[in-house]
Amino acid sequence: MNSELALSETTPGFVALVGAGPGHPGLLTLRGQECLQDCEVVLYDGLSNVEMLVHAPQAVHQCVGKHGQSRIWKQDEIIAEMIRHAKAGKRVVRLKGGDPAVFARTSEEVNALKAERVPFEIVPGITAALAAGSYAGIPITHRGIASAVALVTGHEEPGKAKSDLDWPALARFPGTLVIYMGVTTAKQWTDALITSGKDPETPCAILRRCSLQDQQKIQCRLDEVAGHLTPASKFRPPVITIVGEVTGLAESMDWFSRRPLSGKSILVTRPKDQADQLARPLEELGASVVVQPAIEIAAPDDWSDVDAAIEQLESFDSLVFTSRNGVRFFFDRLLEVGRDMRCLGGLKIAVVGDATASVLKSYHLRADWIPETFDADALLEMLQQAQRPLKSTLIVRTQRGRDVIADGLRATGASVREVITYENRDVAEMDPATRARLNEHPLDWITLTSPATARNVHRWLGDSIGETKVAVISPLTAETVRELGWRVDAIAKSATMHSLTQAILDAETT
């Protein structure tokens, strides 16, 4: 017998049925994150936020169905795929929207795993009904209004001869009803409740994409629900409907839609691995953020100049960094070629701002010079005023940008050497999915963090931005934007993501 086959037959893999929660990637449980970090295959459904896959970079990611983006897998196909991987000895995460135990067909998957003797674990997730209390201001129980709650499917298994739901009992239920999967059947279940005696004026709340930045909420009467869930309304799944007096608390308990940037759509154009530094604070203020990098950061094709400079570090009296990326690429290369921080000797180190100094600290080094204004002109002025004139300076930079510091130091008689430790490369085209999203939902703001970024985004969008506002990181970027013919609506007071976020916030609240 083939040894690999024998191993897979006697040593099955493992399956974790993990609840992905209502949508926001931060609502994944710690145990769910651990399972993702430890797995080899992720089978995720259309209600699982794909941002959670960042926890499983080592795994194969396989979508088992998302409306409009891939074919919808049948349940028996999903089960067969899950067992196939497990039988091959793989650790599998079956990532399911919400909680695996709430309308998720988990029992079918568990029965199949047990039949094949595949070990498994069920990891709870936050279901939409519970998330509604926090994100829509609707507590599904309330000591003075509703002491019970019923979770009800609005879409029973097709082909049933008779419904298992007792609509007269549900109409009399002394508490809150939460209807799952009830969009296409809204007319049937609302009529069933009303016919069974439920007051047609019962207050309801329809929630779409609960916990996500584009969460939507409609408050209405029970007899109006079906009219809000027609195909023409575009109020499409994922949707839950809450039926009961507790929905009247949504206004007083709402915090989500009252954040200062709620309803604002903002384009973040930073490189992919740096976008979160701007995207996250904007999202926390309520913005719906679209991340579309305009430039990508890459190592130089040829390290010879950098390597030569590293070998000659003892010949310099100062080292200048004009960006965080320069710090990372330079010191990573220094370590890669077999040297360490001792080779810096008595060099003085200058950085363009606090953010660059922070990265420097991660290498256990402190900057000697940090200008109060975070730009090249301010740093040059500080270096020119140093107590001891600089004689030999190494400047670490990208291939694009101004030569302010180098030219200014040379003018004082200093010997200056520049090395390129990373490159800013234009992203040729906007992602088609991003462009489609922008066509459907116009932007309120575009953020630009360098002249190169500004030029590339302008190449993509041109005059099509209309009334979209533009926020920039610095006066230099603002100058480029104006030269391109766009208006500048907000300028960061310092070249940091915090300051850029604050500039947008100030513009929106004044």
What are the residue numbers of the active site?
45, 66, 181
**What 8-state DSSP symbol labels residue 44?**
E
Contact at 8 Å (CB) between 259 and 237? no
**CA angle (220 as vertex; 218, 226 as ends), nearest 5:** 85
- Do strands 14-19 and 149-153 pair parallel, antiparallel, or not at all (unpaired)? unpaired
Nearest to 470 by CA among 507, 431, 434: 507
Give one DSSP letter per residue of 56-116, joined into a string: -TTSEEEE---TTTSPPPPHHHHHHHHHHHHHTT-EEEEEESB-TTSSS-HHHHHHHHHHT
Nearest-CA neighbor of 292 among 460, 85, 479?
Answer: 460
What are the strands, taking DSSP E only, across 146-270? 149-153, 176-180, 203-208, 216-221, 239-243, 265-268
Residues 6+ apart with CB under 8 A from 221: 200, 201, 202, 203, 204
DSSP 400: S
Strand order from edge to edge, sheet including 265-268: 288-291, 265-268, 445-448, 469-472, 490-491
SS3 assignment, position 229: coil
Q: Alpha helices, DSSP H only, in 166-220?
A: 167-172, 186-195
Phi, psi of 416 (to 5 degrees): -125, 135
Residue 427: strand, helix, or coil: coil
* 63 DSSP β-pair partners: 44
C-alpha span between 354 and 348 (Å, rounded) = 16
Strands (DSSP E) found in 202-327: 203-208, 216-221, 239-243, 265-268, 288-291, 295-298, 318-321
Q: Tell which residue, 371, 397, 373, 374, has the closest CA to residue 386.
A: 371
